[in-house]
Structure 1
């Protein structure tokens, strides 16, 4: 049960305006402007697929992630949606509902994940990293002034390496649609099919 739960939960943690992204990216935006846009983007959702690769296993799940300020709801689904795991953070409390419907509560999101899976996942930073915002990380930019890769994490854990590809413009904001996270022998590959952002005011 624990191993099955692990492989379903991992993808999720890592991994608006429902409109199709435009691949024609503006070339005159500076990184300062783009990062300011990403910092101000606090309410969004995404859907897509997440591949999980270890030396002995390869798995793929559907992922839905809704971010509302500091709160979030992440749903991971496999087996045509017949099995799913929900991670919900509201205020200081996180609740994880596993595949058997059991509810697990904590005020420490990362510790709860570690207790249930045996892995430390950087959910605090992923809320920024998945947008292409290199919070608490060293990074490099591509020729369009977008983050192409970063290296970051807490001082107490092994650093995460992330590579980004396939940026597209969604509601005037450049967002990655493909990214890969690597730490040790664990590799997480996100393929985001759609971002949903609030309309520009």
Structure 2
């Protein structure tokens, strides 16, 4: 008796991606971000913060309204060109070259504010350096 067993399924061909997905030029989103900060003392409880945000994106410029339990009350971080401003009640509190610097100076929390748009939209940051060369990754040898 002759029997044949086929163990591989044929996969249809897929077109190669035509390039990286890009973010829309203008969009708005709102939501919450939870931040947990470990206590300096291992026996103490961690500090938890919830930030509510409203994000408005216009090209490379953005306006992010943040409110919650992080010690600042309600603030807005705005980026116009290369300048980032922190506002409270519509008045500029401080300006800097990065939103991360401003947020850290006023809260002590490290939050990658300028990268949140990529997290929100699920699109990779094209300017981030990535190493996707698999030939440089170590591949463990199989024991025989």
TM-score of the superposed pair, with normalisation by structure 2: 0.56
CA spacing shift, 1:59–1:123, aligned 2, 3 Å: closer
Rg larger for = 2
Query: Which residue in the other structure is 1:57 paired with?
Result: 47
Query: Which residue in the other structure is 2:28 paired with?
Result: 45
Q: Which runs of 4+ in 1 moved over 4 A?
A: none
Q: How many residues align?
A: 105
- Which deviations, in whole Å up to 9, do the C-alpha atoms of 1:157-189 show, x marking residues without a partner? xxxxxxxxxxxxxxxxxxxxxxxxxxxxxxxxx
Matched, 1:86 2:76: yes
CA spacing shift, 1:40–1:97, aligned 2, 3 Å: closer
* Residue segments in structure 2 that go unaligned for 5+ positions in a row: 1-13, 39-45, 132-144
**Does the Cα contact within 8 Å between 2:83 and 2:97 map onto a contact in 1?**
yes
CA distance, structure 2, for counterparts of residue 49 and residue 43 of structure 1: 20
CA distance, structure 1, for counterparts of residue 100 and residue 29 of structure 2: 21
Per residue, is there more strand in 1 or in 2?
1
SS of the counterpart of 2:105?
helix
More relative contact order, 1 or 2 (CA 8 Å, 6+ apart) = 1
Per residue, is there more helix in 1 or in 2?
1
The Cα shift of 1:78 comes to 2.9
RMSD between superposed Cα atoms in Å = 3.2
CA spacing shift, 1:30–1:90, aligned 2, 3 Å: farther
The Cα shift of 1:116 comes to 3.0
The Cα shift of 1:52 comes to 1.4
CA distance, structure 2, for counterparts of residue 85 and residue 49 of structure 1: 15
* Residue segments in structure 1 that go unaligned for 5+ positions in a row: 1-28, 140-201
The Cα shift of 1:90 comes to 1.3
CA spacing shift, 1:32–1:131, aligned 2, 3 Å: farther
CA distance, structure 2, for counterparts of residue 63 and residue 52 of structure 1: 13
Query: Which residue in the other structure is 1:103 paired with?
Result: 93
Query: Which residue in the other structure is 1:32 paired with?
Result: 17
CA spacing shift, 1:115–1:41, aligned 2, 3 Å: same
The Cα shift of 1:98 comes to 4.3
- Which deviations, in whole Å up to 9, do the C-alpha atoms of 1:50-98 show, x marking residues without a partner? 211122211223211111111100011237xxx4111111122211024
